[in-house]
Amino acid sequence: MTRRTVFLLLIAALIGVGPTAADEDPSSPADAESTEPQEFPKKLYSGRVVFLEDALEEQGVETFEETGRHVVLETDEGDLIPILADWRGRAFYQDEQLRDRKVELIGFLRPGLPYLNVIAVYTFDEDGERMYTDYWCDVCSIPMYMIQPCECCQGDVRLRFQKQDLPEYIDGEGEGSTSK
């Protein structure tokens, strides 16, 4: 995907226009009654997560304050991929410790939507070691994926880093990825 295409898709998403998956494929159901989960290809995306406003400013694009709340993955090639603030991507909106640092994200793009659905987050420590990153409740020993009270005890969670390789289904080659 070219830088221009990503930028145009991003702008279309921000102003609420653009084709939907139903527009692209007339055989796809337009209603939400389908209970079958749809599988999308999962890829590795590498770069750093930044606020969209900052990334556009670096490129000389003037924006207004509304742009400041959006986060994007700025790939090593300079492409900007907006991150969906869902169950996994929301952490980038909440936690400054996850922004402005090297990351590898496993995720997918839905047809017709420019937003990256993140399903796994890897950050790198000061020695360049890949670390699986999530939140952890020390009392209940359960993982969480955004800053919120523990779903079990309602206590605090902490950011957790675990040395971990990529899953077998990811080959290390993807959009903006770096081979390991």
Per-residue confidence in pLDDT tens, the chain, 180 aa: 555 444 444 444 444 444 433 333 433 333 434 444 568 999 999 999 999 999 999 999 999 988 889 999 999 999 999 999 999 999 999 999 999 999 999 999 999 999 999 999 999 999 999 999 999 999 999 999 999 999 999 999 999 999 999 999 997 654 544 433
Domain count of the fold of the chain:
1
Residue 138 covered by a domain: no
Which residues, 6+ apart, have CB-to-CB distance to 176 below 8 Å?
45, 46, 47, 73, 75, 76, 77, 79, 81
Residue 150 covered by a domain: no
Measured CA to CA, the distance from residue 101 to residue 161 in angstroms comes to 14
Inter-residue contact 144 to 129 (CB < 8 Å) = no
pLDDT at 91: 97
pLDDT at 109: 95
Residue 162 covered by a domain: no
Task: Kindly report the backbone phi and psi dihedral angles of residue 14, in degrees, each rounded to the nearest multiple of 5, phi listed first.
Answer: -65, -35
Measured CA to CA, the distance from residue 89 to residue 145 in angstroms comes to 8
Q: What is the CATH number of the domain that holds 48?
A: 2.40.50
Residue 25 covered by a domain: no
Residue 114 covered by a domain: yes
Closest CA to 82 of 118, 57, 58: 118
Measured CA to CA, the distance from residue 83 to residue 138 in angstroms comes to 28
Q: Which two tokens stand for residue 45?
A: 């995306």
* Structural domain containing residue 75: 3-13+40-126
Which residues, 6+ apart, have CB-to-CB distance to 161 below 8 Å?
123, 125, 131, 132, 133
Measured CA to CA, the distance from residue 94 to residue 105 in angstroms comes to 17
Residue 164 covered by a domain: no
pLDDT at 39: 86
* Angle at the Cα of 110 from the Cα atoms of 107 and 116, rounded to 5 degrees: 40
Measured CA to CA, the distance from residue 73 to residue 51 in angstroms comes to 9
Residue 171 covered by a domain: no
